Amino acid sequence: MSDYLNFSLDGKVALVTGASYGIGYAIASAYAKSGAKIVFCDIKQEFVDKGLASYKADGIDAKGYVCDVTNEDMVQDMVKKIEAEVGVVDILVNNAGIIKRIPMCEMTADEFRQVIDVDLNAPFIMAKAVIPSMIKKGHGKIINICSMMSELGRETVSAYAAAKGGLKMLTRNICSEYGADNIQCNGIGPGYIATPQTAPLREKQADGSRHPFDQFICGRTPAGRWLEAEELTGPAVFLASDASNAVNGHVLYVDGGILAYIGKQP
């Protein structure tokens, strides 16, 4: 098969941060079904244990590690363990992230720094940990989970938008620095995803009406609905495979068309 049509991940080691559930879990599961060996990390043992149980129930042999991705020493130690126990990381997905919905003038500098630390500094730390071995091996794929907030602003998410905008530019800069080493760094910008975290925003109100935010999102999305985490998996497999070897420094927005749409006239 031509490499240009090779979507297989057979034998590749894929490390997905924050993949005990949600978007990270969906992406890691898709990688496993495409032949990859799955390694994931989360900040607490209870999250790792929950993830391991879910992977096992789905017939996936995954290996989990407890790691604070903002701690460079812990990240370096984890990557060394992965290389010794599983193999050199071929695919890194920087998925772990947080959001604090606080009006900017009510947000403390420490709260702002925390979001930047998890959503921007951590992907830098993770990429820095895996790139040297990717260079030695002769290839590597880094996928940063960006956001529509890489392009748009909205009330109460100043720190998140700043971090994701920075992550978009970090993606481009990793491409610029390491493209010659056959390392491709791209981003995925999810739209609004139906997850347990967003479930309260999609629940019917006491009077039977839709939640105002649910109405807003569905009205702002040409697809007219929330997206499923599994809808990110095709793009994620593509960007992790040899089929995307000429794609570098790009953010692929999987948003149901929101960024292309000005919205309906009131």
Strand partners, 42: 66
Residue 151 neighbours by CB distance under 10 Å: 17
Q: How many CA atoms lie within 13 A of 126 on its CB side?
A: 38
Spot the catalytic one: 160, 178, 192, 253.
160
pLDDT value of position 1: 55
User: What's at 147, amino acid-wise?
Assistant: S
160 is catalytic: yes
Mean pLDDT in consecutive groups of 10 residues from the start of the chain, 266 residues: 84 98 96 98 98 98 98 98 98 97 97 98 98 98 96 94 98 98 98 87 89 92 94 98 98 96 82
Residue 142 neighbours by CB distance under 10 Å: 28
- For the chain, count helices (H), then strands (E): 9, 7
pLDDT value of position 173: 98
